[in-house]
Amino acid sequence: MVLSSFISSITARLTAYRNYRRTLQALSALDDRELSDLGIYRGRIDEIARGAAR
């Protein structure tokens, strides 16, 4: 039981980290005008990526 819970926890954390990195990279690749069209300021990219990882 404990081992499967531990493995599930690690799997969930890795998935969240991958989602964070993928979102961060995608948003960082956009220029300021594209971000503006989405209503996003460059300074909020990390915050948005962290939200996507939850």
- DSSP H stretches of helix in the chain: 2-28, 32-38, 45-52
- Would you write out the chain's pLDDT as a tens digit for each of its 54 residues? 799 999 999 999 999 999 999 999 999 999 999 999 999 999 999 999 999 998
Contact indicator for 40, 48 with CB cutoff of 8 Å: yes
Residue with tokens 């962290």: 50
Residues whose CB is less than 8 angstroms from the CB of residue 28 and which lie 6 or more positions away in sequence, other chains included: 45
pLDDT of 24 reads 98
∠38-44-46 over CA atoms, to 5°? 115
pLDDT of 1 reads 76
Structure tokens at 26: 């995608």
Domain ranges of the chain: 2-52
